Structure 1
Amino acid sequence: MNKKKVGVITAVALVALAVTGAAAWYYLKGNGGAGNSADKVYVETVSSLTSANSGSQSRYSGVVEAQETWDVNKDSEREIKEVFVKEGDSVEEGTPLFEYDMDEVQGEIQQAQLELEGMQNDITNLQNQINQLSREKNSAAESERFEYTADIQEKQNTIKQTEYNIESKKAEIQKKQESMEKAVVTSKIAGVVKAINESGTDMSGEAAAYMTVLAVGDYRVKGTVSETNVQFLSEEQPVILRSRVNEEQTWNGTISKIDTQNEEKSDNDMYMMDSGSGTEKATKYPFYITLESTEGLMMGQHLFIEMDEGQTVEKEGIWLFEGYIVQEEGEAYVWASNDKDKLEKRTVELGEYDEELGAYEITGGLTEKDAIAFPMEGLYEGVATVTDISEVDYSSPLYNQEGEEGEDGEFSEDGEMMEEEGMSDEFSEDAPDEMIDDLPEGRFDESGDGEEGSSEDESGDGEEDSSEDESEGGEEEQE
């Protein structure tokens, strides 16, 4: 066999191996044998996704309080002598809460009364003087009467001013006497003492209620929402309230008021910015919920608040959020994890659609024990699946595909776009001959070790070798 024939056979074998290898790569990629080893996809069980407490349902914190709250403000000019109640005490209307120290006020009243008596004595003396001047005026000469008249008018004006001062002093005494009568502050409502603020100020130093009393009777729930989420709430919006101890225990209600005019004061409303040197205060606002029933609730009980989107309605079967379902050309499928923890397209059968829940009934192809992934762009069959989201490497090629997609959207093991030279254009029907013409010099020799011989064939030496072989063969035959 001459060298050219050997080279052709070898080239054909290499082409066959290349085609076979490429086909195997595509097959393995689609069946979990390839892809990028760093690619991992987080999956969740169907049962967890379809449970009442799953999904991206936003929750807010709330506390049960009375429909009426009475804030007792402290007189900043007076000191408290004694407090008769403590936080948590039940009170009735008229129950003494605390008493002001009135010793100083009592002294002020006594001093004011002395001043009042003095002014009354002044008026008496002035009136006596006026009477005396009037008598003297009548017996005085005509030229002297003008001076008497002026003196009398001056004293009359002094009396009028003193009378005005007396009325003012009486009002002052009356006010202080009334404050004495209010030395003991009593409750205006029946309820529970919620808080006692000894300082009388809030965290920012602004004036705040000294004591707060919650009225007994029907309850309401006070929730707190941040400035970034308040836009998602509206009055008359139905809500579900869950016990923090037993989330299966729920109550229903409606948002009755969103108070964006008054910020909620809290020492936990600070958040750090990613940039900058300081902290900024996240504004929070209170909102209130009217309950359909208060059975089982306690004053001060803390609750979770959710918007009522039908999540407590029990449905038979599997109802899956539509975002997990891909529908193409009349077929529906989900990205599911197989028994080898590899991702695959799983065809599912769809039943009814619930517009309020945005969910389809799954009538076939999926069980509650199956684990599925959200259908993000770039998913492929065979990628590894994990149930612990911390195991996902978001720096892997699967999550960084921008600018790397080839004409057919395929990627090599290292995440780079595949170069498919010789895979489609160059492998035509006469590929062996073309491959031989394009092979580099010195690629093949007769022994197949790829060191020498090919270049000699291309230069024409191959023909001489062929003739020499034929002549040698002829001589041997003659012998």
Structure 2
Amino acid sequence: MKKKIWLSIGVVSIIVLLVGVNVYRAMSKEEVTVSTVKLSQQEIASNVMVPGTLRFQNEQYIYQDPEKGEIAEILVKEGETVNAGTPLLRYENEQFSLEKEQNALSIESSYLKINQLEKQLDDLSEKEKDLSKQVGKEEAEKTIEAEHNQLEMEQKMADIELRQLLLQKETIEKQLNTLEVKSDIAGTVITIEEHPEQTSEQGGMKAVIHIAKTDQFIVSGVLSEYDSLKAAEGQPVTLSSDVVPDAEWKGKVSKIGLFPETSSSTMGTENAAVQYPVEVIIEGSEMKAKPGFKLIMEIETEKRNVQTVPVDAVKQDGEDYFVYTVEDGKTKKKTIEIGTASSDYMEVKEGLSADDAIVSKPKDDLLSGTEVTVK
């Protein structure tokens, strides 16, 4: 009997203790306060981000041409400003010089021969006049006819030979003109290589002279097949660099290749990724970065007015995205389908309605079904 009494007292005590604990917890539980927002219409830009390399927009590389001979003299210095047409270097070609001298001698000889033939024809005309007085005009013409015809034929051949020599002279002069290499652009001499026969790290011959317009830059990169369909010339571009983290530059797409890039590593590979070259011209000339720097090109492909929520309101669970809404004083987890995102807003394609009160900045420990107070 006593055991039953004590057992009953124990059960009642446990029940009282549990009720007390729950009451204490309920009374001491902190009130959860949240702020909510509604879906809002925002203009969001779709972007394509690709890496690129900074380089000069206008530049010229002068390589040694062994067919022209040896470089006799470099006519400019590093850092010098040049105009289009400025002589940069001059070759020395002994063969061209000999051809020019020989051609000059041949032309001089041809003129002497023509002058000699003209004198012979004049002498023959005097001879004909003297014969006409002795044997008559008709007989005199017959006497010198063969010799006259021969001299005229030789004169014509000499004229043809002279024209050929003069044409050869023009060709030789053009060849000699190519021995003086001129700048195609206005710019600054960036580098001069005194030993161009040495190969670069990439295995190619070094340029003798490198000229560039140092206040105009472009960024070159490649686009995937998918991105090449969205990008177009004239689209605005934002450029950034990890090397200069606090700087951004603006530009525009200036060129998209019609044909994909090919390289020795991808030739003959059926499943190789296809990439299209893209160039971006940078607006303005104040560049902290230098040619060769790696940049990120953020190409703005389109702008649309869409339904959005703040980025801070969206949570991710694996591959799914969700938000918390407040209904009847409690939170409710809703899975959403997202679209394009900006730095502040994210497009919501499905999962929310215009009346939903969306928790703007849910804490990481917030759960669905939590009682909350809306500010």
TM-score (norm 2): 0.56
Specify which of 158, 165, 168 is matched with residue 169 of structure 1.
Answer: 165
| Amino acid aligned to 1:305 | M
Name the structure 1 match of 2:293: 301
Tell me if 1:245 matches 2:243.
yes
Is residue 189–residue 215 contact of structure 1 (8 Å, CA) maintained in 2? yes
Number of matched residues?
282
**Alpha-carbon displacement from aligned partner over 1:381-438 (angstroms, at most 9, x marks no partner):** xxxxxxxxxxxxxxxxxxxxxxxxxxxxxxxxxxxxxxxxxxxxxxxxxxxxxxxxxx
Name the structure 1 match of 2:16: none
Larger % of strand: which? 2
1:220-369 equivalences under 5 Å are 220-226=218-224, 229-246=227-244, 249-260=247-258, 270=267, 272-273=269-270, 282=274, 284-291=276-283, 294-308=286-300, 318=312, 320=314, 324-325=320-321, 347=333, 358-359=346-347, 363-364=359-360, 366-367=362-363
Tell me if 1:126 matches 2:117.
yes
Tell me if 1:190 matches 2:190.
no
Q: Give structure 2 stretches of 5+ with no counterpart.
A: 1-45, 303-308, 349-356, 367-375
Q: 1:303 to 1:354 in 2, by over 3 A?
A: closer
Q: 1:98, 1:368 → 2: CA distance?
A: 70
Q: 1:321, 1:309 → 2: CA distance?
A: 26
Q: 1:355 to 1:62 in 2, by over 3 A?
A: closer
Is residue 242–residue 304 contact of structure 1 (8 Å, CA) maintained in 2? yes
Q: 1:258, 1:194 → 2: CA distance?
A: 30
Is residue 220–residue 277 contact of structure 2 (8 Å, CA) maintained in 1? no
Q: 1:281, 1:85 → 2: CA distance?
A: 46
SS in 2 for 1:256: strand
Q: 1:270, 1:125 → 2: CA distance?
A: 68
**Alpha-carbon displacement from aligned partner over 1:347-383 (angstroms, at most 9, x marks no partner):** 1599xx988764359635844799xxxxxxxxxxxxx
Q: 2:198, 2:158 → 1: CA distance?
A: 42
- Larger relative contact order (C-alpha < 8 A, sep ≥ 6)? 2
Residue identity over aligned pairs, in percent, reads 18
Name the structure 2 match of 1:159: 155
Name the structure 2 match of 1:79: 69
Is residue 217–residue 281 contact of structure 2 (8 Å, CA) maintained in 1? no
Which has the greater radius of gyration?
A: 1
Q: 1:148, 1:281 → 2: CA distance?
A: 86
How far the C-alpha of 1:156 sits from its partner, in A, is 2.7
| Amino acid aligned to 2:54 | V
How far the C-alpha of 1:216 sits from its partner, in A, is 2.1
Q: 1:212, 1:156 → 2: CA distance?
A: 58
How far the C-alpha of 1:106 sits from its partner, in A, is 1.2
Name the structure 1 match of 2:54: 64
How far the C-alpha of 1:100 sits from its partner, in A, is 1.3
Q: 1:231, 1:194 → 2: CA distance?
A: 39
Q: 2:66, 2:163 → 1: CA distance?
A: 27
Q: Give structure 1 stretches of 5+ with no counterpart.
A: 1-55, 275-279, 334-344, 371-479
Q: 2:95, 2:107 → 1: CA distance?
A: 18
**Alpha-carbon displacement from aligned partner over 1:100-140 (angstroms, at most 9, x marks no partner):** 12222111111111111111121122123222332333417
Tell me if 1:112 matches 2:103.
yes
| Amino acid aligned to 2:289 | L
How far the C-alpha of 1:235 sits from its partner, in A, is 1.2
Q: 1:247 to 1:363 in 2, by over 3 A?
A: farther
SS in 2 for 1:287: strand
Q: 2:187, 2:211 → 1: CA distance?
A: 8
**Alpha-carbon displacement from aligned partner over 1:154-208 (angstroms, at most 9, x marks no partner):** 43343244234324433543553465466343445222447988699xx9x9xxx
How far the C-alpha of 1:234 sits from its partner, in A, is 0.4
Name the structure 1 match of 2:81: 92
Is residue 225–residue 286 contact of structure 1 (8 Å, CA) maintained in 2? yes
How far the C-alpha of 1:233 sits from its partner, in A, is 1.3
Cα root mean square deviation, aligned: 4.9
Is residue 83–residue 99 contact of structure 1 (8 Å, CA) maintained in 2? yes
Name the structure 1 match of 2:128: 137
